[in-house]
Amino acid sequence: MGEPNSHVLFFPYPLQGHINPMIQLGKRLSKKGLTVSLIIASNIHREPYTSEDYSITVHTINDGFFPHEHPHAKIKDPPRFNESTARSLADFISRQKLTGNPPKALIYDPFMPFALDVAKDLGLCVVAYFTQPWLASLIYYHINEGTYDVPDDRHEDPILASFPGFPLLSQNDLPSFACEKGSYPLIFKVVVSQFSNLRRADCILCNTFDQLEPKVRLYNLNGDH
Backbone angles phi, psi at 180, to 5 degrees: -150, 125
18 part of the active site: yes
Q: Which of 18, 70, 91, 153 is catalytic?
A: 18
Report DSSP state, residue 68: T
DSSP result, 161-172: E--TTS--EEGG
- The CA distance from 220 to 141, in Å, is 11
109 part of the active site: yes
Residues belonging to the active site: 18, 109
